[in-house]
Amino acid sequence: MDFAEYFPIWNKLTEAQQQHLLSVSHPMQAKAGTVVHRGGADCLGLLLIKSGQLRVFTLSGEGREITLYRLFEYDICLFSASCVMPNVQFDVIVEAEKDTELWVIPSCLFKNLMDESLPVAKYANELISSRFSEVMWLMDQIMWKSFDKRLAGFLLEESALEGTTALRLTHEKIANHMGTAREVVTRMLRYFQNEGMVRLTRGAVELTDQPRLRQLAGD
């Protein structure tokens, strides 16, 4: 089992803690599109990603989605075990964007590790701080950056992530990532197309002028 390679502070645990962690953590596979964690009512445990890609998002009162951040190989999702952290109220949904292999570390075990081990508690606090920083950066973008700049940046980020300029993304999917209405996305993408920066086809967006998109995004 290669769990030890993926757990970031494995070498700071005692041998007994390591063996306990191995004995109770279990592997899980999630197909693309599967909801892995459903918010505050679900205390699944920590998710340690072996391969694939998870999307962490939240819902507005009207049911509108917005992507907070993504998780990749070697990442840990801590908020799927927020029930063991009463001072952290952060209701998120976790969905597999690609076929994903991961380990589930039971919430009660991790709480015990935090109570027993200063390195584990320190790591958990650092992880929480890092995720909140990502969310605060996102809020800053939403509040102070115009939507055309945000959309250009999102398309460039997706292109870098997927390694292609031909993105299989519907307008609805983009809207869900960005926390806005599909009509707003469609209107802006059509403007981008008229300006020669993208080409739109059914269910796809091709980036045809990345330098202009970077200039618009402010990169």
Instruction: Identify the burial level of 195 via C-beta atoms within 10 angstroms of its C-beta, where 0-12 means exposed, 13-18 middle and 19 or more buried.
Output: middle
User: Quick check: 37 and 77 in contact, CB under 8 A?
Assistant: yes
d(CA 195, CA 193): 5
Q: What is the pLDDT of residue 62?
A: 80
Q: Are 174 and 217 in contact (CB under 8 A)?
A: no
Sheet holding 198-201, edge to edge: 166-167, 204-207, 198-201
The confidence score (pLDDT) of residue 1 equals 54
Q: What is the C-alpha end-to-end distance of the chain, expressed in Å? A: 42
Look at 124 and 52; give whichever has higher pLDDT: 52
Is the pLDDT confidence value at 28 over 90?
A: yes
158-164: long-range contacts at Cβ-Cβ below 8 A with a sequence spacing of 24 or more? 159/207, 159/210, 161/70
In whole numbers, what is the pLDDT of the chain averaged over residues? 91
Q: Quick: pLDDT tens for 87-136.
A: 666 678 999 999 999 999 998 888 889 899 999 999 988 988 898 899 89
Relative to beta strand 166-167, strand 204-207 is antiparallel
Residue 107: what residue type? S
Question: For position 90, what pLDDT does the model report?
Answer: 67
For range 124-149, the mean pLDDT: 90
Residue (of 60, 31, 28, 68) closest to 46 by Cα position: 28
For the ranges 39-53, 129-143, 188-202, the lowest mean pLDDT is seen at 39-53
pLDDT at 131: 87
Whole-number pLDDT of residue 107: 87
Q: What is the pLDDT of residue 123?
A: 92
Residue 88: the pLDDT is 61
pLDDT tops 90 at residue 14:
yes
- Residue 78 contacts residue 92 (beta carbons within 8 Å): no
Q: Which domains does the chain have, with CATH numbers?
A: 3-143 (2.60.120.10), 145-217 (1.10.10.10)
pLDDT tens profile 158-177: 999 999 999 999 999 999 99
Mean pLDDT, residues 36-51:
85
CB atoms within 10 A of CB 166: 13
Please give the Cα distance from 25 to 49 (Å, whole number).
13
